[in-house]
Copies of this chain bind each other. A is one copy, B any other.
């Protein structure tokens, strides 16, 4: 039992609800020798480009950024990215598997507001949620694209309050990304870091309120 009065359980998408490992598998399939290296650089640049474009004030959608990052990774690593391979790789983002506990946990939260809040644009998020088995258990799919402010800016998290009609302290926000947890804590959400890979928290001056190895732990915050 928790002392918090949580009204909304809000989830990051990539790495938190959905396992991006199938993107890595697709990279390995299309580039047998260099799949690992490409998928790693692709993900690194995808994040970096969202941060840098936010800093420069030149927002474009996460789908476009994901495409740019893939192109960069392939040129830098020296592999040929055909139109067909590009399509297969980008499409793999629309068909990610989810972590096994997701459906059960969302099922337990039926009496609360539940939402995804992601840097992803709706052209990525909607097909992803629709092909999953738990779309009906989510009240909202929220994207930073609506305000053109990438996480972890405070302005981005503000959208959650506006859309769900709750206060900061009534939100429990889950992410497996340390920088997202830092941003959400800094904004004033209660945060649960889903530390699936037993990593160390980043040194950004803010800590998660809770740390779990998967999403099962969060149900203790039902009041």
- What residue of chain B has the Cβ atom nearest to residue A70's Cβ? B203
User: Does A153 interact with chain B (Cβ within 8 Å)?
Assistant: yes
Question: When each residue 45-66 of chain A gets 1 if its CB lies under 8 Å from chain B and 0 otherwise, what string results?
Answer: 1001101111111101000000
Copies of this chain present: 2
User: Does A123 interact with chain B (Cβ within 8 Å)?
Assistant: no
User: Does A212 interact with chain B (Cβ within 8 Å)?
Assistant: no
User: Does A183 interact with chain B (Cβ within 8 Å)?
Assistant: yes
How far, in whole Å, are A48 and B47 apart by their CA atoms in the complex?
10
- What residue of chain B has the Cβ atom nearest to residue A203's Cβ? B68
How far, in whole Å, are A49 and B45 apart by their CA atoms in the complex?
15
User: Does A138 interact with chain B (Cβ within 8 Å)?
Assistant: no
Stretch in contact with the other chain, from A11-19, A71-79, A98-106: A71-79
CB distance from A73 to the nearest CB of B (A): 9
In contact, B45 and A202 (Cβ under 8 angstroms): yes
Count of A interface residues, CB-CB < 8 Å: 33
With contacts A56-B154, A68-B203, A203-B69 known, is A51 near B51, CB below 8 A? yes
How far, in whole Å, are A199 and B72 apart by their CA atoms in the complex?
11
How far, in whole Å, are A179 and B200 apart by their CA atoms in the complex?
26
User: Does A1 interact with chain B (Cβ within 8 Å)?
Assistant: no
User: Does A205 interact with chain B (Cβ within 8 Å)?
Assistant: yes
How far, in whole Å, are A45 and B203 apart by their CA atoms in the complex?
9
In contact, B205 and A154 (Cβ under 8 angstroms): no
Q: List the 3 closest A-B pairs by CB distance, nearest first.
A: A68-B203, A51-B51, A76-B200
Residues of A within 8 A of B (CB): 45, 48-49, 51-58, 60, 68-69, 71-72, 75-76, 150, 152-154, 179, 182-183, 186, 199-200, 202-206
Known: A56-B154, A56-B182. 16 other contacts (CB 8 A): A45-B203, A48-B179, A49-B202, A51-B55, A52-B179, A52-B182, A53-B204, A55-B150, A55-B183, A56-B153, A56-B183, A69-B203, A71-B203, A72-B202, A76-B199, A76-B200
